Structure 1
Amino acid sequence: MAFAILNGQLIDRSEAKVDIEDRGYQFGDGVYEVIRIYNGKMFTVNMHLERLAKSLDSIGISFPFTEQQLTEMLEMLIEKNNLQLGIIYLQVTRGVAPRNHAFPAEPVQPMLVAYTKQLERPIHHLQNGVKTMLVEDMRWLRCDIKSLNLLGNILAKQKAAESGCFEAIQHRGQAVTEGSSTNVFIVKNKLLITHPSDQHILRGITKEVILQLCREHDISIEERVFTLEELAAADEVFLSSTTSEIMPITEVDGKMVGNGLPGPITRKLQAGFVQEIEKQCGAL
């Protein structure tokens, strides 16, 4: 039997259902997190739950559980599902109310759903790199909120999938923002450059770990907007996310990045990232 959490209760996953007037279902009125599990332990869980709290605060949802209570629930879910390697998907919506664009006039109970999924590490792609393509960033201007409104991301990802690419790199005019479900980094002359964590991108948890690794390993960093021209001229390009970790990009829009192989800065950060995983969760 697989288990899920519904509003604080551990139940059979097959029985985890929400009302058709749940505002997440009707409006995308909610937020979510995806937390990586290694050796049955959550990686960077505190950072994820802090971001969840900020997203909830940004859209005015009062969450009924403390961070400690939520952590204990998620740990119980991992144990009950006997998950060693995978993810937890966690979603909070404003709750169930008669359909109306404005927030419910009377307070409603937020809806919490969480479940696990087995997911292997993408070893082949981590070792060999992936192909990507460019798409215009057509999303709204509060990408820092990890909301359920993902249609723009989905359309970009689908376009990449149809073109045989792993990811779509989005840009607003000449300014590169992020991937459809990832943050993007370039390296030029040993300098790492990535978009600042403002309203135009999601503040990636893996990105934050990477920036800390750069400080620890004396890798020079600039958090600034970079252009399509800079992307095309980069020595190295890579993306990051909870499930992709630190993923080398070897091709952008059919053009080879560098010599077509993962570069030395990318490799150094990958090694440091594995060390951080093992520090928190044990040997891989």
Structure 2
Amino acid sequence: MGTVYLNGDFVDADQARISPMDRGFLLGDGVYEVIPVFNGVPFRLDEHLQRLARSLREVRLNDPHDGAGWRRLCQELVARNGGGHLSLYLQITRGVGATRDHGFPEPPVAPTVFMTTSPLPVPVPAADQPARTAGVAAITLDDIRWGRCDIKSVSLLANLLLRQQALDAGAAEAILIRQGQVTEGAASNVFLVRDGAIHTPPLSHHLLGGITRDLVIELCQEHGLPVRERPLQAAELADADEIWLSSSTRDVLPVTRLDGQPVGDGSPGDTWKTLANHYIGFKRHLCGLN
């Protein structure tokens, strides 16, 4: 089962234990990060750690480590699990309270820090193989989540219900609509292409600032692909030439069917293929992939 990190110790996964009074278990009171690792190299690690620090600030949790400390822990856990291609998970909760109480423990208790890894298939069947990617189906659903989706909280029940509804419908993802506007996917960010221009919703409390989302924008700007952050009306999805999903563990994935209808001509579009080639070039350079 591999090695995990828990509150200062590296232990076998089947030996790791937390208290049932931990607020993450009882109340979902914590935050997390998921970092892809390629060839033993955590991808965009600094950006992920910056987002983790922001989430901790927003929920009023002291960061248990500085950036250098987190980097050392990440690198050691990756090494202890053999390097290679992994998904690296970090979770920090408010710790173990004396009682189950909605108020924060007073005085504060030590946070619970947990880190684990799992295998990550590479190449990811999307941006790594543009010529062989068929794309995925998605459905649109009402965004029923809370009002602070910019915090990467462990409280994910609404996301789970939305993703499962998509899976039950034979789709890979749910694209979420709030008051007539596109926010994001249940576990991804959303891009729309129309007449060669790329659009994505602007950052707000209603969506997570995705690390892959930011990289896609950077690559578009670097390579002269017109990209714009602006509110997207739900009705624009039906007229899109292309729709993409981005996430740390699935790269940039083309949506070729939405709500049972083809997107564009029903195959991955040329703009996505161009971006995907830039994306895999960046990843190969950074992580030494062949």
TM range (shorter): over 0.9
The one-letter amino acid of 2:144's match is M
1:275 pairs with one of 277, 281, 290:
281
Report the equivalent of 1:102: 103
Report the equivalent of 2:93: 93
In the alignment, is residue 64 of structure 1 matched against residue 64 of structure 2?
A: yes
The one-letter amino acid of 1:149's match is S
The one-letter amino acid of 2:162's match is A
Q: Which runs of 5+ in 2 are unaligned?
A: 128-132
TM-score of the aligned structures, taking structure 2 as reference length: 0.95
Report the equivalent of 2:7: 7
> CA contact under 8 A between 2:32 and 2:154: conserved in structure 1?
yes
In the alignment, is residue 32 of structure 1 matched against residue 38 of structure 2?
A: no
TM-score of the aligned structures, taking structure 1 as reference length: 0.97
1:185 pairs with one of 185, 191, 216:
191
- Aligned-CA RMSD value: 1.2
> CA contact under 8 A between 2:124 and 2:250: conserved in structure 1?
no
Report the equivalent of 1:128: 134
Deviation of residue 279 (structure 1)? 2.0
In the alignment, is residue 195 of structure 1 matched against residue 201 of structure 2?
A: yes
Report the 3-state secondary structure (helix = DSSP H, G, I; strand = E; otherwise coil) of the residue aligned with 1:35.
Answer: strand
- Separation in 1, partners of 2:141, 2:23: 30
CA deviation map 1:127-178 (0-9, x unaligned): 1100000110010110000001111100000000111100011101321111
Report the 3-state secondary structure (helix = DSSP H, G, I; strand = E; otherwise coil) of the residue aligned with 1:128.
Answer: coil
Deviation of residue 263 (structure 1)? 0.8
Report the equivalent of 1:159: 165
The one-letter amino acid of 1:224's match is R
Equivalent pairs counted in the alignment come to: 284
> CA contact under 8 A between 1:8 and 1:73: conserved in structure 2?
no
Deviation of residue 125 (structure 1)? 4.9
> CA contact under 8 A between 1:122 and 1:244: conserved in structure 2?
no
In the alignment, is residue 232 of structure 1 matched against residue 233 of structure 2?
A: no
- Separation in 2, partners of 1:118, 1:140: 31
Report the equivalent of 1:78: 78
- Separation in 2, partners of 1:59, 1:90: 16
- Separation in 1, partners of 2:228, 2:8: 42
1:168 pairs with one of 152, 174, 177:
174
- Separation in 2, partners of 1:153, 1:237: 20
- Separation in 2, partners of 1:209, 1:232: 26
Identity of aligned residues (%): 39
Q: Which runs of 5+ in 1 are unaligned?
A: none
- Separation in 1, partners of 2:214, 2:282: 12
The one-letter amino acid of 2:121's match is E
The one-letter amino acid of 1:236's match is E
Q: Which runs of 4+ in 1 moved over 3 A?
A: 121-126
> CA contact under 8 A between 1:144 and 1:198: conserved in structure 2?
yes
The one-letter amino acid of 1:35's match is I
Report the equivalent of 1:117: 118
Report the equivalent of 2:130: none
> CA contact under 8 A between 2:126 and 2:252: conserved in structure 1?
no
The one-letter amino acid of 1:245's match is D
CA deviation map 1:84-138 (0-9, x unaligned): 1120011000110021101111111011000110020364455110000011001
